[in-house]
Amino acid sequence: MEKKAVRNLRLCTKDCLCLYVCPTGATDTENSIIDVSRCVGCGDCAAACPSGAISMVPAVYPEQQEKKEEVCFALNALIEAKAEEEMTAASLARKTEKVGLRRLMKAVTVSARLSGEDLAREAGYMLPQGSPALALLKALRDNPPSDDFPLNETNRIIEAFKGE
């Protein structure tokens, strides 16, 4: 599989050892982005990078495969579990008087929400595109995970499903 080098600018410490080992000069650019048209995929720059900022990635990614029904079913079960986890953590955060536990439960609430959103993307749909999303929205509307949950926006999205 043909690979190309890419640099994560956030990790780059500008030690620039990659400049000395790259046989084509693909790493020597003014904007610090590796010139993939000059990269031959040897990986020397990635091996020399002391900060781990350079990675080798496929030059061409394969087409995304369709999700099988059983995979979507499992992902939806995980989404429901994350929603339950978020509601439980939010409830604990509201009920506790212990500052440390409240902060931890708020962090768990956010983490569960982000994980649920990632799972929703992985399941192959984003709101408002399918009946699983509609069911999730109705469940959240009927049992909001927090006092500041956006019920008006949720109801607007649910109404938009009726227009399909």
Q: Where would I find the H helices in 4-97? A: 17-21, 44-48, 69-95
- Which of 1-15, 55-69, 121-135 is predicted least confidently? 121-135
Four-CA torsion 109, 140, 124, 82, nearest 10 degrees:
30
Could you count the other beta carbons within 10 Å of the beta carbon of residue 68?
9
Distance (Å, whole) CA 134 – CA 128 = 7
Q: How many CB atoms lie within 10 A of CB 85?
A: 18
Mean pLDDT of 11-29: 88
State whether residue 68 is helix, strand or coil.
Answer: coil
Task: Report the mean per-residue pLDDT for the chain.
Answer: 86
Q: What is the pTM of this model?
A: 0.44
Dump pLDDT digits (tens) for 96-149.
999 999 999 999 999 998 888 888 777 765 554 567 778 888 888 999 888 888
Q: How far is residue 69's CA from residue 25's CA, in Å, rounded to a whole number?
A: 47
